[in-house]
Each structure stands twice: as C-alpha cells, then as structure tokens.
C-alpha cells in the first residue's frame, strides 16, 4: 500500500506523520497514568529508536557511491572526535563533494 506523491497524497502523508508523532509525544504520559512502563519495555524502545536510524542509513552505505560512503565515515569520525553534529554533517558533505570533484 502506498500513497501517490500528488499534493493530496503528500498532505495525507504529512498528516499521518504528525498524528503518529503526537501519539508518541503524548503516549508516555497517557500510558503512565494507567500502567507504568517497565524496564523491559524501556530497553526495547531505547534499542529500537537507534536501530531504526541504522536501518534507514543502510541503503546509503550499501548502494551509495564511494562519495556517499566516505561522507558517512567522515561524519562518524568527526562526531566521535567533536561530539558536534553540525561539524560532523559539514565534514560529511565536504568529503562527498571533494571525492566527487577529485576522483569522480
């Protein structure tokens, strides 16, 4: 099942995202007012929220060109060194641009 990328389809996709995001924002308080979130559920959610980022990045790492792969490596290294996302992202963009300008 998928939505067409027409103005209406895109609007619907955005509204669905907004609704789900609000459910996550309000859900924690709503659930806690009935049953407390246990440590097992907390571990599952913690691991899942990082894992989905890993999964989303995978296609770039697997199917991207070497410029894109280098960008990910540069971001990782810069992030580990500086802990500053903006610097890390800039390093990634710069690496991809340089690689493509110099190597092709």
Partner 1 sequence: MASPSSTGARLDIAGTLLGMRRMAPMALFVIAFGLAFGVAAAQRGLSDVETLLMSALVFAGASQFAVLEIWGPEIPLVALIATTFAINARHLLMGAALYPWLQHLPTRQRYASLVVLSDSNWAMAADDFRRGERNVGMLVGGGLALWLAWLIGTLIGVIFGSGITDPERYGLDVIMGCFLLSMLVGGARQLSILIPWSVAALSAFVALRWLPANSHVIVGALAGGLAGLWLPAKGTRNTRRAS
Backbone angles phi, psi at 5, to 5 degrees: -85, 45
> Which of 66, 94, 103, 104 is close enough to bind partner 1 by CB under 8 A?
94
Least CB distance from residue 63 to partner 1, whole Å? 8
Q: Tell me the closest approach of the beta carbon of residue 103 to partner 1, in angstroms.
A: 13
User: What secondary structure letter does DSSP report for 77?
Assistant: H
Residues 67 and 96 sit within 8 Å (Cβ to Cβ): yes
Find the binding residues for partner 1 in span 18-77 (CB under 8 A): 18, 20-33, 36-37, 39-40, 42-64, 67-68, 71-72, 75-76
81 near partner 1, judged by CB under 8 A: no
* Least gap, CB of 66 to partner 1 (angstroms): 12
89, 72 contact by CB (below 8 A): no
Q: Does the footprint of partner 1 cover residue 8 (CB under 8 A)?
A: no
């Amino acid at each position: 099942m998928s939505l067409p990328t027409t103005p209406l389809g895109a609007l619907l996709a955005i509204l669905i995202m907004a609704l789900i995001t609000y459910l996550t924002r309000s859900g924690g308080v709503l659930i806690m007012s009935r049953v407390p979130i246990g440590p097992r559920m907390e571990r599952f959610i913690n691991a899942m929220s990082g894992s989905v980022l890993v999964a989303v990045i995978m296609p770039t790492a697997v199917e991207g060109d070497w410029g894109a792969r280098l960008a990910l490596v540069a971001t990782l290294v810069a992030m580990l060194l500086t802990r500053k996302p903006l610097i890390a992202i800039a390093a990634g963009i710069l690496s991809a641009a340089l690689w493509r300008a110099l190597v092709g």
